[in-house]
Structure 1
Amino acid sequence: MNYHNKPPANGRALTMDDIRWNIERQRTSTRADGTEDTTFFRHPLIYKNIENVDYVDGTNFTVSMNSPQVTWLGDMTDEFNGMLYPDIGEKLEDDNEFGVFSADNVLGTGPFIFDEFELQERAHGVRNDDYFLRKDGTIPGMVDELFFVNLGGDINPQRLAFEQKQIDELASRDRAVMDEIASSNPEVEAFRIGDPNNNLEFAYNYTTNRALSDERIRTAMFLATDRALVAEQHFQGLGRPNPAVNWPFQAWALSQEELSQAPGYRQPKDQDLADARALWEQANAEGHEDVDFRVTTVDFPQYVPLLEWFPAMLNTNLGTEKWNAQAIPVTSLLEYNNSGQASVGYLGGWDQWNSPDPRTRFAQVYSAHPEDGGRGTINFWKYTTPTMEGYINDMFAEFDNEKAQEIIKEAQRFALSDAGSGHLQMVGGLTSWVKWPYLNRAGPFFITYGTTISQELWIDQNDPTFQGKQRPA
């Protein structure tokens, strides 16, 4: 297995020293200059519980854990846990280099070599014939070039590029436009698939927000949320209620039948709204400032309507005018969430569901924050309860999948009784896909993060639909 044939690797072999550098850097959370750093994102998820690593020889190493970690192998080898080229990893530790996106820094052992990478604009890669799965014949077919073009958030330019065959496939959550594309182009292949990364949630500040730290107010909010309305407004009817594990994980998530009987999910909502208003009044929620109910989202075009209908839904159902909303640039979201400024919380999609086993992603939200010894790397407001932590510890120690599924379902039931446990779960949607038949590729899968471009991917120039195919503008 060789690195890409570009500086600074110049096609050299991947060695055990490279693996050792990556593992030990994460295990110790230490920079090249010896400085300890608490911001190693993968440390609490993967590396914290490693007891010992025996680097046996040039191709084998053995890892011993200090406690059972059932999902460890999958987490260690998933696409988000990339092995950095050491020179580039050390380079990016420089404050002047960190956050600099350049094709020079995109270097690995994968199927494409990138010679252009402009953040939020475009990227270009050429086929790597030295890719190990291509050399051994595992993947015989692979396109010559990849073009990634940012067409913005407006579906109409995306549709035009697809219908002109400048792009070969298109995925969108816009039901109406995708239906129009399929009906106007009967030769295209169309799919709809449950996508756990297509969801709407409100992660709220359970701990320090003056209003939502009151159990009665956050429970009132949970009960007053009309999930049927959310499905219609945000997903154009292509959505289902979500528990704390998104519904496409059918063996792990609470069933739709069970959810339909749960407070907050029941239809009609008469009892939920009566209970919600009673709690709102008991807590004297009207005595709080409007800023305590200011929901934050990002300035994606598909999120702009949230600014109106989401607070209007809560205001109507709770008989108040307190709820309001604001939008911030998406580029500032992570900093905003980590800054402590978000007094209420973030409303939007919560993704990173990238494994068929949802335990690690569940723990990233519901386990204690890493500063408190937990796995909650995206638990921004440091929610934690002994009950939830107990469920999480138990599910990671259980090797029997069916038993683990029952444990995580109990954790979801607890979240339902705890106003969502810091997350107002609402609805998960279906994602619509269209592609031209000349494009041959793996998928689509219910987890769209899959590294499908690392698998067989090729264009059949003899397919009748190839006529009129264009290179991207």
Structure 2
Amino acid sequence: MSNYWERYAVRRISRRRLLYGSGVAGAGLAGLALAGCGDDEEAPGGTQPPAGQTPGASPTAAPTEQPKRGGEVIFHLGGSPRSLDPHFDTFPYNTALTNNVYNGLYRFTPDLAEIVTDLATALPENPDQLTWVVKIHQGVKFHNVDPANGRELTAEDVKYSIERQSTNEPGKFQHAYFFLGKLDGIDTPDKYTVVFRTKRPYAPMMSYLASPWTLIINRETVEKYGDLTQHAVGTGPFIFKEWQKDVHMKAERNPDYWKQGLPYVDRVTWLFATDPDTAATMFIQKQVHAVIVSQPQLDRVRSARKDANYKAVPSQFWRQMRMPPTTKDQPYQPPFSDPRFRQAVVQAVNPEQVLDLVYAGDGVRAFGPILPIYEYWALPEELPEHKFDLANAKKLMQAAGVTSFRGPMIWATNPQADQIGEILKQQLAQIGVEVELQPMELAAYYNQTYSYKYTFSHHVPLNNPDPDENLSSYFGRNSTYYKHYNEEIFDLIDQQSQELDRERRRALVLEAQRKIVLDFPMKFMFTTNLHEFTDPAVKGWFYHTDLYDGRIETLWLDL
């Protein structure tokens, strides 16, 4: 693991740039570095062959290959977005499109090892711990379509976008926790300078500025249509053309893109298919250029497409079994109000059995809110009170005075998720908890999830490089994706986000996770491996480690 923090200390003196406490080093990831790009430099397009690829097959163009222009690249997506608004949606089906229609200030490199510039000309200047001065490129234009009509992007657009993203409207702006309550103000002293002022030191600031959800939108489009549910006008490499729900999305090359020479392909199409076997067939029959499959489809795809580029990686999406969300005004109701009952439910669930039966063991266990792929921040082992222990679960049910309980369990339906629901039902039945299985279509499920009113669910959340997102967005004071009311946990999460010393921050992160686990809001289960394939014609690009980053401006087709 590279020692980013030694390099940071040197740069702190030589460049007078202060980047506090956000280290994202993890298993398989280099220590986070931050690299500024000049006007003509681009973020890497995945030029290093990843571990685990098919021998002899390179997912990206060799350095000597000359990119070719033209053609249409076609991707498979496992579902349709709920909205085209990057400030609302939470699905990678959204960012597949929006990361190509819009730009952000910064981006992570595909391996999450560095933060590089996008609309920003350089890394922020930090005259003090609370001030972040960002310069943006001059001459960047919105797409030459109504209502933007090719006007220049300015610092006011950055300010408008971040303030809109931070709107405190639960269920509407899903990424508000990035900056809501954290910023003291945003100033625009000139057309190309944005000054962020935080209320207190904020360790994850750069990670959130580089998030694929922190995109700079067009104000006129919001004002014309009221929202961005079905409309997308940005400054990115592709111009949005069409979204036919549950069928496809389409975009075309932006001829006026401000990054000279990019993109290479003329058109992009994303085809939707929710069934994993259908997705595998689409790739096998060469209907799409790229697909991600899980273990049940792996052998079939590898056998039929020996020519394909292939990489296997642990998913940043993982499985958890949740109990009811709680807020100050919506506390646990009996029997959930008794922590012994919640612990009994947790200890009755056997994640290893689920992983073995559904995915043939193709994955790794999770012990808390942060996955083992981020080794530095994750709990090193499972706490005894969280481990599968059917005998103890039965004792806890008896101690709580609960002989039986019946309630519904919801989830987003697909073949593997449906199997998981059946197995969880059988496991919980052994302690007298009868689960009524209620699989739901994807959009309906997420609408229910974000109402924060359900009894049980099994869910696939996201993990990100900075620990704050894995804590704040699910268990924090302004959480978005889940609600668990515990002021002591809130305080710990707030403290770690303000701690600039990396070791002290790590101690707070670990303590917060232990308290979350031992409050028994859910069973932390496992993450599976993703099996990523591209057609050999695809050059200059491979899937990012963060699947929310769908940018393909460097992709070209060798046809």
CA–CA distance in 2 between the matches of 1:112 and 1:340?
36
- What is the CA-CA distance between 1:376 and the residue it aligns to? 0.8
Asked whether the equivalents of residues 171 and 451 of structure 2 are also in contact (C-alpha less than 8 Å), the reply is no
Task: Specify whether residues 440 and 70 from structure 1 end up closer, same or farther in structure 2 by C-alpha distance, changes over 3 A only.
Answer: same
Deviation at 1:38, TM superposition (A): 9.0
Change (3 A) 1:14 1:191: same
424, 428, 440: which one pairs with 1:328? 440
Aligned pair 1:202/2:321, yes or no?
yes
CA gap 1:147/1:193 in 2 versus in 1, 3 angstroms: same
Once the two structures are TM-superposed, the CA of residue 89 in structure 1 deviates from its matched residue by: 1.6
Q: Distance in 2 between matches of 1:27 and 1:416?
A: 28
Q: Residue 190 of structure 1 aligns with which residue?
A: 310
The answer as to whether partners of 2:279 and 2:293 remain within 8 angstroms in 1 is no
Distance between the aligned counterparts of 1:445 and 1:409, measured in 2?
Answer: 27
Alignment of 1:216-231 (within 5 A): 216-231=340-355
Contact residue 222 and residue 228 of structure 2 kept, 8 A = no
Do structure 1's residue 285 and structure 2's residue 402 form an aligned pair?
Answer: yes
CA contact (8 A) 1:225 1:264 kept: no
Q: Give the corresponding residue for 1:466.
A: none
Which residue is 2:84 aligned to?
A: none
The aligned residue for residue 427 of structure 2 is: 313
Normalising by structure 2, what TM-score? Answer: 0.69
Amino acid of the structure 1 residue aligned with 2:193? N
Q: 1:443 to 1:394 in 2, by over 3 A?
A: farther
| Residue number in structure 2 paired with 1:33 | none
Deviation of the 1:350 alpha carbon = 1.5
Q: Is the 8 A contact 1:248 1:446 kept in 2?
A: no
In structure 2, relative to structure 1, the CA distance for the partners of 1:100 and 1:26 (3 Å cut) is closer
Instruction: Kindly tell me the number of residue pairs found equivalent between the two proteins.
Output: 414
Q: Distance in 2 between matches of 1:298 and 1:200?
A: 12
Distance in 1 of aligned mates of 2:552 and 2:362: 27
- 1:448 correspondence with 2:547: yes
- The counterpart of 1:43, out of the listed 173, 176, 199, is 176
Paired residue for 1:430? Answer: 529
- Runs of 5+ consecutive residues of structure 1 not aligned to the other structure: 30-35, 368-373, 462-473
Seen in structure 2, the aligned counterparts of structure 1 residues 27 and 262 have a Cα distance that, compared at 3 Å, is closer
Letter matched to residue 5 of structure 1 = N
Unpaired runs of 5+ in structure 2? 1-139
8 Å Cα contact 1:153/1:301 also seen in 2: no
2:409 corresponding residue in structure 1: 295
SS of 2:316's equivalent? strand
Q: Which residue of 2 aligns with 1:370?
A: none
| Distance of 2:424 and 2:170 partners within structure 1 | 39
For 1:160, the equivalent position in structure 2 comes to 281
Q: 2:450, 2:357 → 1: CA distance?
A: 29
Provide Cα deviations, 1:215-264, integer angstroms capped at 9, x if missing partner.
11100111111111121133331111112112222222123xx22x6333
Q: Distance in 1 between matches of 2:170 and 2:413?
A: 32
SS state at 1:452 partner: coil
What is the match of residue 86 of structure 1? Answer: 219
Higher helix share: 1
**1:8 equivalenced with 2:122 (yes/no):** no
The one-letter amino acid of 1:426's match is M
Map 1:115-194 to 2 at 5 A: 115-133=241-259, 135=260, 142-150=264-272, 152-173=273-294, 175-194=295-314
Equivalent positions of 1:305-454 (< 5 A) are 305-316=419-430, 318=431, 320=432, 322-339=434-451, 341-342=453-454, 344-351=455-462, 353=463, 355-367=464-476, 374-379=477-482, 382-419=483-520, 422-454=521-553
Q: Structure 1's 287 and 99: CA in aligned 2 closer, same or farther, altered over 3 A?
A: farther
Q: Identity of counterpart residues, as a percentage?
A: 22
Q: Using the alignment, how far apart are the partners of 1:147 and 1:228 within structure 2? A: 38
Contact 2:143 2:150 in 1 (8 A): yes
Measured against aligned partners, the alpha-carbon deviations of 1:129-178 in whole angstroms (never above 9, x if no partner) come to 32222x1x5x5x6222111111x2223332232122221111012x1322
**TM superposition shift of 1:303:** 1.9
From the superposition, tell whether residues 209 and 431 of structure 1 become closer, same or farther in structure 2 (CA, over 3 Å): farther
> Which amino acid is 1:282 matched to?
A
Judge conservation of contact 2:162–2:214 (CA < 8 Å) in 1.
no
* Closer/same/farther in 2, CA of residues 121 and 99 from structure 1, 3 Å limit: farther
Question: Aligned partners of 2:337 and 2:557: how far apart in 1?
Answer: 55
Alpha-carbon distance, 1:210 to partner: 2.5
